[in-house]
Structures are given as structure tokens and as C-alpha cells.
Amino acid sequence: MTGRGKGGKAKTGGKAKSRSSRAGLQFPVGRLHRMLRKGNYAT
């Protein structure tokens, strides 16, 4: 779901930037996803 194994380039390129840019977002998805999962912000 995080897109680590699927992308392949995401983990070698620029950390969260690759992942966020792939999804069409402008913020670190990895960090946000971890925070959301840790703190129940989104249900």
C-alpha cells in the first residue's frame, strides 16, 4: 500500500518525494501515512 515494492525507483530516488510525486501530491506521503496510522487522524 505504501508503494515501496511496486515503484522500485521510489526507494532509490528521493525518498518520499518520488512516492508523493507519483501519486500527484505535494507532501511526503510516507511521513503523513505513518502519522495518520499512528495517531488515528483519518478514519
Query: What integer pLDDT is reported at residue 11 of this predicted model?
Result: 46
Please give the helix or strand (H or E) that residue 2 lies within, else none.
none
Query: What integer pLDDT is reported at residue 25 of this predicted model?
Result: 59
Mean pLDDT by 10 residues, the chain (43 residues): 49 49 60 71 56
Query: What integer pLDDT is reported at residue 23 of this predicted model?
Result: 56
Query: What integer pLDDT is reported at residue 42 of this predicted model?
Result: 56
Query: What integer pLDDT is reported at residue 34 of this predicted model?
Result: 74
Query: What integer pLDDT is reported at residue 2 of this predicted model?
Result: 55
CB 10 within 8 A of CB 2: no
The ranges assigned to domains in the chain are 4-39
> Interior CA angle at 28 toward 43 and 38, to 5°?
35
